[in-house]
Structure 1
């Protein structure tokens, strides 16, 4: 297994406001200052303290560890997008959101500048090489 890279003292990124079945969530995506690769994700719910917010926070921590250990961003997106919950769907500018996890995956896709088709093409290219 590849060792997790140390976190730099200063990173830059963006926070996206996303709709989710649980209300608005705020997904912060930070890039490594040297490589420009996505390295960590944080999520905050409009309402804190819920079980869903705790699970989503834990999920973003684990995903961040994977990204800092060399996981491809398209693998993170693929692992998060498409999961549904009983309160779904809701709709925003990125289309249908089927769960808080789906919203996090779509925020990563937006941050990476990928469209669903580009994501699949990049995945196919990495599997061929």
Structure 2
């Protein structure tokens, strides 16, 4: 993707259930390759430390993706991370969202 972000990018927002409640994960793709280049997350409820952590994490993931990191790397690093509440964490939800978008890569992005 170019160094300058286009005005608009195609993307999908998935609503996923996590241990902390509903998480909305938006995955935006580069229109020329249909590969993810940006991720945004929002909890169903606003505020809190979890929201801040997810915001920081997705900013860093977006930096990696826009620099050419393979989306499969994101999935492999975040998949199956659990917490004191068990599996079904926010990190795993982000991996699921990226995996779902990559699986549709052959379709129109």
Which bin holds the TM-score, normalised by the shorter protein? 0.7 to 0.9
User: Which structure ranks higher in relative contact order (CA pairs < 8 Å, sequence separation ≥ 6)?
Assistant: 2
CA RMSD of aligned residues (A): 1.5
Uncovered stretches (5+) of structure 2, i.e. residues with no partner: 105-109
Partner of 1:38 in structure 2? 36
- 2:42 alignment partner, SS class: strand
Please list every run of at least 4 consecutive aligned residues from structure 1 whose deviation after the TM superposition is greater than 4 angstroms: none
Uncovered stretches (5+) of structure 1, i.e. residues with no partner: 90-96, 115-129
Cα shift at 1:88: 2.5
- Provide the TM-score with structure 2 as the length reference: 0.88
- Provide the TM-score with structure 1 as the length reference: 0.75
Partner of 2:100 in structure 1? 110
Partner of 1:118 in structure 2? none
Alignment of 1:1-129 (within 5 A): 5-89=3-87, 97=88, 99-113=89-103
Matched residues in 2 for 1:21 and 1:46: separation? 12
The structure with the largest alpha-carbon Rg is: 1
